[in-house]
Amino acid sequence: EGDFAIDGVPGTGAEVALDYSDTSGGATGRLLPTGNVRDSVQVPSLRRTLDVSIVDIGTICVYFRAEDLGMNGSELPGELPAEAYRAAEEIRLAAAALCGLPQSGRGDITPFQIMIAPPQGYAALTGEAVKADDIDFAARQINVDGWMHKAFSGGASTCTAVAAQIEGTIPHESSSVRTTPRGVRIGHPSGALPIFAQVERDPRGAWVVREVHFSRTVRRLMDGTAYLLRSILQD
């Protein structure tokens, strides 16, 4: 039992903190796979190039501005047009190519596509109001088969909190995050998600993650009995 609540997760449960501090470069070997805080990719359906940021910790993600797709960033699942999903997938494929990752094939779903916008007020899926002052930026996780996450996955939230503390990235540019360490408040379709992160430069000037963790709830999901033949146990 517990009283910890997460926007987008029904009910409450016992809080458990998950530490992702040592997962930098899990997919590519580098926190910034291209060595840059920002890259340009060609988006065929838009007939132009867009700025993106690619960060690899927890789950590798590619970030782009909502306004570059003609969106305001407060859209909810079911509200993005097909053209936006097409452009987002083209961004993902271009980012994968820059990182040397597979661009096609069953199960190729990363980098996760994250649409970013400045903090703003909007109505969450629950009907509750999300206030601009309660979030550091608005973010929407878009998936390869044309749907938007109703909240935010753990790996993507970890990566996004870190990206927001790296100067020059799309999340940092669009957010109110200016200090570290701190809890980064991600505004998603179901509310707000706070993720604690500490990101700094090392003596050589490279970005390093000192700490990043987020909380989830642990609860009993089922209890049952399995029956086995005695002959199986004797064997």
| Percent of all residues in the chain with a pLDDT value above 90, rounded to a whole number | 73
pLDDT digits (tens, 9 = 90+) for 98-153: 999 987 755 689 999 999 999 999 999 989 999 999 999 999 999 988 899 999 99
Overall average pLDDT of the 55-81 stretch: 97
Tokens of 166: 């790296």
Q: What is the mean pLDDT of the chain?
A: 92
Strand partners, 22: none
Q: Are the C-beta atoms of residues 59 and 155 closer than 8 Å to each other?
A: yes
Q: E strand or H helix at 195, and its extent?
A: strand 191-201
pLDDT > 80? residue 198: yes
Determine the Cα–Cα distance for residues 195 and 201; give it in Å rounded to an integer.
20
Q: Output the pLDDT for position 235.
A: 63
CA distances from 195 to 6, 27, 76 (A): 12, 21, 21
Tokens of 28: 């590519």
**Domain regions of the chain by residue span:** 4-234
Architecture of domain 4-234: Roll (3.10)
Overall average pLDDT of the 174-197 stretch: 87
Q: Are the C-beta atoms of residues 100 and 199 closer than 8 Å to each other?
A: no
pLDDT digits (tens, 9 = 90+) for 207-223: 999 999 888 888 777 88
Q: Lowest mean pLDDT: which of 9-13, 55-59, 75-79, 182-186?
A: 9-13
pLDDT > 90? residue 45: yes
CA distances from 138 to 65, 76, 202 (A): 10, 11, 29
